[in-house]
Every structure is written in structure tokens, then in C-alpha cells.
Structure 1
Amino acid sequence: MTEWSKDERMLSIATAGSPQELKGRRTACQQALLEQLNVIPIEEWVSKVNAMHDLIAAAAVNICEAQMKEAGYGPPPCAYSFIVFGSAGRQESTLWSDQDNGLIVGGEPDNVKLTYFTAFGELLSDVLEAVGYEKCEGRVMCSEPLWRKTLPEWKEQLNSWMSQLEWEPIRYLIIASDMRHVAGSAELSAEWREAFHAGFVGNDKLTTAVLRNTVRHKATLNLLGQVLTERFGDYAGGFDVKYGVYIPLVNIVRHLALLNAVKDSSTLKRLARLEVLGEYEYLQEIREAFLTALRMRVNTPHTVQDGLLLSSDYISENDLKNKQLVSELRESLLLVRRLHRALQRQLRSAERRQS
């Protein structure tokens, strides 16, 4: 298959006229991407995967607008923005990532907007599910009122999360920190982002609260520095690469980014911005470990169901017999442990100052 035909498959996504057609073009495109896995650099491959997801999301938005007109709702009553969070927000989605998204609606709330965008958000989430994106177990979706608001309501919500400083609102705020614009009004997304970052300026208690959430993670190495695998259940003998190494690195870099007013959402872009500051010595080590985590995550065993990929994000017990893989994993986990211990010391120091 030529590079031109792969690009053509990617571009064909934009012209899909129905969820079924969009799903078919997605499966064709992801097959071409699978052929490139472990052939091109991992950061380039992940970038291509996420470019595909963005095209699909934008096409789904267009399909929903057309279906809303057919259903008698007419065109959108105002400007709006479709935004993504989680791995999609960081441009780190796998081929099996689920939904993490929201809507920003322009202007003050009113009944016309409420009626239209309630129906639109629910329809869009359903269309994305039909295209192959499972609904988020945590309900971070544009079908949910918490993640579908007018811009003034969003600003009020962000302020509320920032003022409470408890585990749950800070968890929501951390999710929000990875927001990225995908379709609709880029101006609304930019104003949302400015409001978000303004809340962190000079707010030591807020950054400490984020740090408190950041330092919690599951144990991944024993006292001898050996990799801890799952003891029971369906993945006994395997290793949870997503929550064991990938998410801890994402969390550490996010914390540093928020601390230094870095507005990028991608982990690699955050690292690049932090490197320019020249204040941290270990950023290259983090970058290498993060790329290792990305590569391991996209190579976890997967199954195909109705043309779509499913994975547990666990490295299998059999793959853990590969000595080089285990050595790379262990090095990354040792770095995570070292960084977490440093952050825990920072947290204790910050809490003493603020008590």
C-alpha cells in the first residue's frame, strides 16, 4: 500500500455521511495504521492515530448537525465547541480508547440552547459509540450536563472546583486540564482555556491540592526493585502498563506543567515547554520513559470485535518473559518511583507551610 493511499483513507473520513459509513472508513484507516506500528517512530505513529481520531470526531459533529436538522431542531442556535479530555486531550489515544469529551456553548444559557444542545450532546455521544468509541465509564461525555455547559456556566464550574480543594473536585479539575479543542468555535475553547489557567496563577493551595492527587498511584515494584505483576483475576501474571507506568508519568508532567503555567495539553509538548525553562534536570529521562510507556501500551494484546480493536492495556505474562522488555519497564518504573518520592517530599513541605 502506498503512502498516498493511506493518506487518502485518512482524508476520506471527512466526507462520511452516516455513522455506518464513518465506522467503515475508520476500520480501513486503522488497518493501515496497524501496518505501520513498530515500523515508524512511536511518537509519529501516535500522532497519526490521533489525527485519525480528530477527523472522525469532526465528521461525527457534522453528521449530528445534519441529523438534528432532519429531526426538526434546525441549525445550532449559537456557536459551540466540541472538546476532548483524557488521552484524546493529550493526543495520546490508542486505537481502542473510549470517549472523553464535552461541549462549550456560546453566550448566556437559555431554554433554546438547553433544548438543542441537550439533544445534540446525547446524539453525538451515541454517534461516536456507533462509530466504535465506547462510552466513558466515568461519564465524561458531552451527553452529561457536567461536561456540557455554556461558557459562563463553565467558568462558574471551574471556579467551584478550584475553590473546594477536595479529592473529587480536584479530580475533575485534573481531567479538565487536558482539554483540547477539536471542532466548532476555537475562540470558545481558547477563552475556556484562559479561564482555566487564570485560576492557577499565584494559587499555591490549588497546586498543592493537585499535587496531593498526583502522588497517589499503585505499587509497581517490590522492595528488591522487581516488577510487581497482577496476582489474581483475568490478568494474573500480567502488568497494568496504563496505570502502572503511563498514567504516573502523565500525572507528573501535568503537575509540573500546571506549576509553570504551561498551557499545552500533550505530554510531549509539555515536556518540550518545561525543557525551555531549564529548571529540571531529569526531563530527558522522563521523555524516554514516556515514549517507552507509549510503545508498550499500544503493543498490549488486543482482540478485534466487529472490525474494532479492544485491549486491556495489560502486558501479558508471556510478553513479560522478554528480558529486554522487562529491563526497559523496570528502568521506567524506577524513575517513576524516584520522581514520586521527590513529589511526596514536596507535598509534605507544602502542607507544612500552609498549615
Structure 2
Amino acid sequence: MRYETAMNHVSFQAIRSASTPGLLRSARLEEQTRLYDRFTSTKIEAWNREAGELQDAVMSRAVSLCEEQFIEEGFGSPPASYAFVAFGSAGREEQTLWSDQDNGLIIGTNEDPEAKTYFDQFGIRLSQILEEAGYPPCPGNVMVSNPLWRKTAVEWEKQLETWREQLGWEQVRYLMIAADLRHVSGDINLSRRLRQSMHEIFEQTSPPEQNLAAAVLRNTVRHKAALNVLGQVITEQTGEHAGDFDVKYGLYLPIVNAVRYLAVEYGINASSTQDRLAQLNELEVVPFRWLESCLQAFHTALRFRSMTSYIEENGSVSGTGYLPQATLKQKEIRRELREALGTVKLMYRTLQRQQRYAERKWL
């Protein structure tokens, strides 16, 4: 066994054997420090994959700790099978080391009302354990503690169908959050079933006014590349981050959202941006040079996300999402950022033309 592999094994063993949320957080922070030390010497794809494996190990152990606590406290074992799933960057396997909570629960069949009470409390407790392990709560409340993201498999399917029928701005946003669903722990068959149901719901034929791809496109083009008409990078103008660049909303999410739209448009059932791009390439529905530029911009976005400033507080690490002004002054960083934003700008010009065409066709 290579030294590097052995180190990973030992570190992950500390995570998997952590007996309390506090010990889990300590093991996580130790492994994060080791991984961060290798950031500049590792390709972003490989580094990002390791970061995802680390986060999955921590989240899986948090689920096990929650079960163990419930058994110790007399609530017993889960009364039905369940799957703990990730959304957001975790669902797309694109986490930073300081990603917050974006998760949910799919629950198997049990008609006993006490089963619902059990999982209601289980979701609340699991969210607390994850927070103790260092994951800040999701600002949008996409968490297992929220009943909207904690449902039986049948309830999930009904909810997806309702969102699909309504297609308001909020419903489309929820559908796109759900589209990033990825299994982390528990009964994988529940996750597979829901992803298949989701794919079938997305592929339903519908009248023009209920066209899902068009609705997703309307939501998508709201985001713009952070470049002004002169090709200059748009930074924050006021506040504590004045002069800094918002990587998440200025670069990363515009790419993610555009590729997600294309995945919906062409019936691609994948949750990660990289897999969606690979499948778009296989389908040959988008020019290869366009996809190549998009992939390069995406890798730049991933790398810059993990270069953003962060805050350590009470043993937890939270990212600000901003690339500091001092970093932006580096010539190479500035060049890469402009190139990536230029690609995003071209992507959105294409999408805006598609939107105008779709609107004229609908009229």
C-alpha cells in the first residue's frame, strides 16, 4: 500500500470510528488540513474527488451516530428503510471543504403513524449532529430537519409531480435542487427509485405552457457572467468584501445552472456537472469546442471556490465564497478568471437566444 493511500485509510478510519459528533468533527478537521496542504500540488479533478469522499465518509458516520443515539435513548432502530441523500454541491459531488448542509431523506413504506414521528425526530437530530460535525445549516433550509426535504418515497413522487405541474419560479427552483439528488447512505434502492421517477416526471410530454425545459431556461438566464461591457471582472462594490470576487454567484453557479438546463433539455439523468458534460458530448448535441471551453471554465470555478477566504469559528470552517482582492491582483489568476467568465458570457448569449426563440414559438 502506497504511503498516500495508507494515510487516507487511517484518516478515514478515524472518521468512521468516531463515537461522538465532537470526535467526528475533530477527525474531519484533521483530514481536511491534510487534504488542503495538497491543494496546490494536485489536479483539481482529483482533489475535488478526494474532498467529496471525505465529506461522504463524515456524513455517513453522522447518519450512523444518529441511529446509535436513538437506540441508546430507547427510540429503537428505524421502523422503515431510508436513504440519506445530498443536494446542492454535495449532490453534484462538487463540495468545498467548508460546504454547508444540503440534504434530505427518502423513507420507505410504513403506515404506522409512529414511524412518521420517529423520522421527524430523526431528521431534526441528524441535522444537529451534522452541525456539531462542522456543517453549517443551509441558508435555504434544504435539510433533513425540514419536512419539505424529508418524505416517504410515495410523498416524494407526488411532490415532484406537483412542482412539475405548477412550474412557477419557486417550483422550478425546487425541481432543479431535486435534480442534483445523490445517494450518500442507507437504502440505495430508494434513491435509485426516486431518481428514475424523477427522470420519468421530467420527460413527460406537456403543452407548450408547461414545457419544463423552457421553464428551467427562464430561471437559468437570470444569472449573468460577472463581466462588464468592457470585459472587466465585476467585483463587490461595497461592504466587507468590497473589491473581492463572488466565485459562487459570479462564476460557479452560472456554469452549473446552464449545464443543468441542457441536461433537462436532452433528458440526461446525471447529477454532477462533469457527468452531464460528458453525456452531452456523447449525444453530440452541443459543439465539442463549446463543451471543451465549458469544462475548462468549470474546472477553473472549482479551483477558485476552494481558494476563497474562509472563517474558523467554534471548531467549524465556513467559506465566504469570495476570492480576495489580493488574490485577484495575481496576473495568472486574473487571466484565468477572465477566460472562464468569457466562456460563461458566450454560453448565456446562446441560452438567451434560445429563450427568445422559445418565447416567439410559444406566442
- Give the TM-score normalised by structure 1: 0.97
Aligned to 1:339: 347
Q: Deviations over 1:300-355 (max 9, x none)?
A: 12233344322211111111111211111111111111111111111121122223
Question: Is it true that 1:253 corresponds to 2:259 in the alignment?
Answer: yes
Question: Is it true that 1:324 corresponds to 2:314 in the alignment?
Answer: no
Mapped partners of 2:243, 2:112: distance in 1: 54
Asked if structure 1 preserves the Cα contact closer than 8 Å seen for 2:82 and 2:108, the reply is yes
Q: Deviations over 1:89-108 (max 9, x none)?
A: 00001011100000000125
> Is 178-187 or 219-228 further displaced after alignment?
219-228
Mapped partners of 1:207, 1:109: distance in 2: 36
| 1:55 counterpart SS class | helix
> Is 257-266 or 114-123 further displaced after alignment?
257-266
Question: Is it true that 1:169 corresponds to 2:176 in the alignment?
Answer: no
Aligned to 1:79: 81
Q: 1:104 to 1:270 in 2, by over 3 A?
A: same
Mapped partners of 2:347, 2:50: distance in 1: 30
Q: 1:307 to 1:108 in 2, by over 3 A?
A: closer
Cα deviation for residue 192 of structure 1 reads 0.5
| 1:81 counterpart SS class | strand
Question: Is it true that 1:160 corresponds to 2:156 in the alignment?
Answer: no
Q: Could you tell me which runs of 5 or more consecutive residues in structure 1 were left unpaired when the two chains were aligned.
A: none
Mapped partners of 1:254, 1:219: distance in 2: 16
Aligned to 1:138: 140
Count of residues paired in the alignment = 355
Asked if structure 2 preserves the Cα contact closer than 8 Å seen for 1:304 and 1:310, the reply is yes
Cα deviation for residue 11 of structure 1 reads 3.0
Mapped partners of 1:78, 1:307: distance in 2: 34
Structure-to-structure mapping, 1:1-355, within 5 angstroms: 2-3=3-4, 4-107=6-109, 109-201=111-203, 202-203=205-206, 205-218=211-224, 220-281=226-287, 282-355=290-363
Q: 1:336 to 1:219 in 2, by over 3 A?
A: closer
Q: Which amino acid aligns with 2:219?
A: N
Mapped partners of 1:301, 1:312: distance in 2: 6
Q: Which amino acid aligns with 1:172?
A: Y
Mapped partners of 1:5, 1:315: distance in 2: 30
| 2:34 counterpart SS class | helix
Q: Which amino acid aligns with 2:175?
A: L
Mapped partners of 1:210, 1:158: distance in 2: 15
* RMSD of aligned Cα (Å): 1.4
Q: Which amino acid aligns with 1:310?
A: S
Cα deviation for residue 18 of structure 1 reads 1.3
Cα deviation for residue 150 of structure 1 reads 0.6
Mapped partners of 1:308, 1:40: distance in 2: 24
Mapped partners of 2:236, 2:310: distance in 1: 18
Asked if structure 1 preserves the Cα contact closer than 8 Å seen for 2:99 and 2:319, the reply is no
| 1:74 counterpart SS class | coil
Mapped partners of 1:303, 1:221: distance in 2: 27
Cα deviation for residue 210 of structure 1 reads 0.8
Mapped partners of 1:28, 1:300: distance in 2: 20
Q: Which amino acid aligns with 1:211?
A: L
Q: Which amino acid aligns with 1:243?
A: Y
Moved over 4 A (4+): none
Mapped partners of 1:110, 1:325: distance in 2: 57
| 1:149 counterpart SS class | strand
| 1:303 counterpart SS class | strand
Q: Which amino acid aligns with 2:270?
A: D
Q: Which amino acid aligns with 1:311?
A: G
Cα deviation for residue 174 of structure 1 reads 0.7
Asked if structure 1 preserves the Cα contact closer than 8 Å seen for 2:127 and 2:145, the reply is yes
Q: Deviations over 1:171-221 (max 9, x none)?
A: 111111100000111111011101111112145611110111111114511
Q: 1:219 to 1:90 in 2, by over 3 A?
A: closer
Q: Deviations over 1:49-88 (max 9, x none)?
A: 1101101111111110111112221111011100010000
Q: 1:109 to 1:284 in 2, by over 3 A?
A: farther
Q: Could you tell me which runs of 5 or more consecutive residues in structure 2 were left unpaired when the two chains were aligned.
A: none
Q: Which amino acid aligns with 1:12?
A: A
Q: 1:39 to 1:306 in 2, by over 3 A?
A: farther
| 2:37 counterpart SS class | helix
Asked if structure 1 preserves the Cα contact closer than 8 Å seen for 2:87 and 2:177, the reply is yes
Mapped partners of 2:157, 2:13: distance in 1: 35
